[in-house]
Structure formats: C-alpha cells, structure tokens
Amino acid sequence: YFPLDEWRFITPQLQVPGLMRILNNNNLPPGPSGRWRPTLKLIRKPREAFEEWSLRYGDPFLVHALNGPVIITGRPDLIREIFAHDSAEYDVFAAQSLGPILGEGSMLLLSGQRHRQERKMVMPMFHGDRMRAYANIMQNIAIKWLELVSNGKPFEMLAVTTQISLDVIVQAIFGGEHPTSIDKLMRLSGNTVASLSPLLFFSRKTHFHFFGLSPWDRFTKSQSQLRAAFDSEIRRRQQAPADRQDIFTLLTQARYEDGSPITPEHAYDELGTFLFAGHETSAIAMAWAMYHLHSNPQTLDTLRSELQDSGDASPEALAKLPYLKAVVQETLRLHPIVTEVVRLLKSPMKLGDYQLPAGMAIAPASVLAHYREETYSEPNLFRPERFIGRSYSPAEYFPFGGGNRRCAGAAFASYEMAIVLGTILSKWTFKLLEETPVTPKRRNITMGPSTGIQMQVIDRL
C-alpha cells in the first residue's frame, strides 16, 4: 500500500531544532544504519538484535527506528543515571503511534504533572489491602480454568493462563455480580488485544484504513466494540446503583488533588490500558514459568517440596513462599514484560561520555541488563536460586520498568503469578509436550512464547 520510502516516518522529536544536525555528526554513539531494517529486527528478535549491536558498536549504541532515534543501553551505571534523572525532563516516546491505540488519557501516555496526578490516583487500586482483596478471586479463577483442561487431553498453557489473567482483571475491574456482562467484556477485551499487530506500535503510517482489511481496520473495529460494551456497563450500573468496590467504580468515583472527577473518555482510556497491560503480560509470564519449571525437573521438585512442606495453599500463604517468589522473579528476568523502557528527553542530558540533545530518546534495555554475565552467572539458565538471599538493584533488574514510570500494576501482577502458579501446582501434575525449545516471539508491544506451550494434566494431587 505504501511505497518503501513512505516508511521513513519522521516523528516530532526529529523536528527539534539542531537534532538532525547532531544526528548527522559524530557526537553520538555509533549504531546500525537505516531505519526500516533495524525496526524489523526490533520487531522480530529484539534481544538478538540488541546483543548483536552491543557487541558490534559497544554500549550504548544508537538505533534509528521508524518511530525515532533511540540510544540503547544495558549498562547498570547508565541505567541508574537514566532512572535517577529528573522525571520532569522526560516526555513520552512515540506518542503519535501509541495515542490512537491506548487513548490520549492513558497513564502510559501522560507526562509531567498530569502523569504524577494520575499515578497517585490509580496506584492504591492495585496495592495493599485492595490488591489482597482479589486473592480468593485469583485462586478460584485458576481452579475453574484448570478444571476444564484436567481431562488428560493436550492443551495450550498460554491459552489457559490468558483466560485466567483476563478473567482476573475483568472481575477486578468490573466486579463479578453480572456474569453475562463479564463474559462479554472478556471476549471483547481478548479480541482487541489479539487484533494488535506489532507494526501498529512502531509507526503512525501503519494506521490506515483499507476496505476493512488492514491491521488498523481490525483493531479499530475491535476497539469500538469494546468501547460500546463500556458504555453498556455504565448504563447498567446507572440503572441499578449498588455499593461496589471494583476498580471501575473506584475509578469513576475518584477525584484528582484539585477535586475534579475523571472524564468518561479518560476513564475509557485507563480501563483499556488496564485490560491490555493487566492481562496479557501476566498470562505470558505464567505460561513461561510453567514451561521453564517443566523443562527443569530439579527446579520443579524444589518448588513442589516447598508447597508440600508449607501445608497451606491459601492465597496469603502462597504469596509468602520464598522459592515460589523466586520462580516468579527468575521468569521475569528471563522474559521481562517489555524489552526496553524508553524516555524522550525534553532538554539536553549527559549520559556517560555523551552529551545528548533534547528530542533524543534513551532506553534501558532489560533484555541486555538481565543477561549480563557480570550480574547473573550463566544468565541463559533458569535458576530461581539466584533470587534466594540476594536482591538486585533497580538498574540490574527491572522487569516492570523503573523510575517514576515503573508499572503501577507490578505488585498486582507478581501477586497474581504467585497465587495462580502455587495453586495449580499444588493441585495438579503436568507434562510438557513441546518437542523442541520454545523461543520468544513478538506478539504486539510484548514478547511471548513462539508456541502456545503444549502441556497435559497427568494427575490431580
């Protein structure tokens, strides 16, 4: 549809005065040439691309992606500088591409004072007593979905964990007193996430309509159906008001520091972000955990022994088990939620030996930092023991991002993973049916397993 040169998408940050001149000089780190080819590598195999470029050009290195130039680093000293830098000096990277997908009111696209206010309002909904109130919901949902595949027939673990995490986040957001509405919201939420092509995140030029057949057409159709379902849910609640404590109710009743309420359109954007960020990422991580546990029998035996010795499969007890927690942490080290976290500079910044201009993007890459031999011995191996009696700095381990933009749902996701994994491994034994190694593959903005991870329930404990 577009000639190849049309993909030379120039985002607003490239229009910052003086940036093009600096980019054309030797004042920045070296990196791969071109825009189209590096972007394709980032979409297909980001970790391999980052490792290749790091070895070839050093760390940090510069990538001219379709949505703008980015300096990438996996060095803890530079990552520490980036996370510690004044958050007011950062803006959102590639907002033109992400805005139409997530909505302009999504916390992921806000910056400065607006981001701080939004985060302060949202954070309590996913932490502390509010988070622990969802514990039994998480456990009951995990049991429900595993019961459906416990007939001895092969199944895809990723499909099951997706249903579990989607069910959890939808019930946490909307409550569970109206099953028909919940089922519809689950279906439409899943369809919307499934319709997201990776290219939509990397260039605004991919957001075009073509007789209802383009990736953008498929996404906007699913998005419109989900928004219509949100409207129906609002009307249903207005007709039958009740005392609810779900996130949807808390969000619509929330007030900013100045006392103003959240607008309906803004609430839609946040709800969509919660559904997207709150279910697919957890589903992928839980599927990876099951894969690695069953690829490493000794590790699985250690976890099963901890579960048996505990003798308490309640959600509160599971969330406190140290080895189970280490399994979650090691899974997120090997497979961080996103491959890198990007910051856009509003003003010049010195990073290591380089003076970076305003308009430049900088990105700590978890898929580099999490695999550093200097930090993690034998980094390609699944070894939860590395998290027993040892903690890593936020510059060495950041599966949920870092600084003031660290994922607001990080505690919720880790809590859910521990409860779901601990519950299903306490009640069933499984067999991994994959005959070849499963590798990471781009899904949209996230990376997931290259297969659905074929498994089979062997026995009930």
* pLDDT tens profile 47-73: 999 999 999 999 999 999 877 889 999
Has residue 201 got a pLDDT over 70? yes
pLDDT at 244: 73
Q: What residues contact 240, with CB distance under 8 A and at least 6 apart?
A: none
| Higher-confidence position of 25 and 224 | 224
Q: Percentage of the chain surpassing pLDDT 70?
A: 90
Range of weakest confidence among 73-77, 240-244, 393-397, 408-412: 240-244
Sheet architecture: strand order including 155-156: 155-156, 454-460, 428-432
Place of tokens 């909307």: 174
pLDDT at 388: 97
pLDDT at 7: 29
| Higher-confidence position of 454 and 13 | 454
CA proximity to 106, closest of 338, 337, 273, 275:
273
Q: What residues contact 430, with CB distance under 8 A and at least 6 apart?
A: 290, 294, 455, 456, 457, 458
pLDDT at 192: 83
Has residue 418 got a pLDDT over 70? yes
C-alpha 73/C-alpha 57 separation (Å) is 11
pLDDT at 13: 43
C-alpha 148/C-alpha 145 separation (Å) is 5
In this prediction, residues 205-213 reach a mean pLDDT of 85
C-alpha 323/C-alpha 299 separation (Å) is 10
C-alpha 199/C-alpha 204 separation (Å) is 9
C-alpha 296/C-alpha 255 separation (Å) is 48
In this prediction, residues 187-216 reach a mean pLDDT of 81
Place of tokens 């510069």: 62
pLDDT at 422: 98
pLDDT at 239: 66
CA proximity to 459, closest of 437, 432, 430:
430
Strand-pair partners of 356 = 349
Chain mean pLDDT for the chain: 85
CA proximity to 154, closest of 428, 456, 417, 430:
456
Q: Percentage of the chain surpassing pLDDT 90?
A: 49
CA proximity to 280, closest of 202, 338, 201, 207:
338
pLDDT at 9: 32
Q: Using one digit for the tens of pLDDT, what is the confidence trace for 368-401?
A: 999 999 999 999 999 999 999 999 999 999 999 8
Given a contact cutoff of 8 angstroms between Cβ atoms, the answer to whether 107 and 408 are in contact is yes
Given a contact cutoff of 8 angstroms between Cβ atoms, the answer to whether 285 and 425 are in contact is no
Q: Using one digit for the tens of pLDDT, what is the confidence trace for 78-111?
A: 999 999 998 888 887 766 777 777 777 777 777 7
Q: Using one digit for the tens of pLDDT, what is the confidence trace for 248-301?
A: 777 777 777 777 777 777 777 777 777 777 678 899 999 999 999 999 999 999
